[in-house]
Amino acid sequence: MLVLPAELTHAQAAACARMLSQALRSQPGPTAVADASALQHFDSSALAVLLDCRRDALALGKGFAVSGLAPKLRELASLYGVGELLPAAP
């Protein structure tokens, strides 16, 4: 599982995206799951990081899902029209 930090704003986005991209390559299985349950402080950069991670997963032939996405971030994703690209993990 790919774990997001407690804070993910513009200041942390690039480093977090690199960390998740590296972790994704060592993930076994057909679906990469990003765990966003620790995420407390975020801005729209968190969506950009998740979408980057999704793009990397798809490039590796994997599916992508998110667990523990905060309702406010899910709402923001819907507002930007990308909510369907970040499906909830079963």
pLDDT tens digits along 40-90: 999 999 999 999 999 999 999 999 999 999 999 999 999 999 999 999 998
pLDDT tens digits along 31-51: 999 999 999 999 999 999 999
At 90 the pLDDT is 84
Alpha-carbon span 76 to 63, nearest angstrom = 22
At 78 the pLDDT is 96
For 2-85, CATH gives 3.30.750.24
What is the model's pTM?
0.94
At 77 the pLDDT is 96
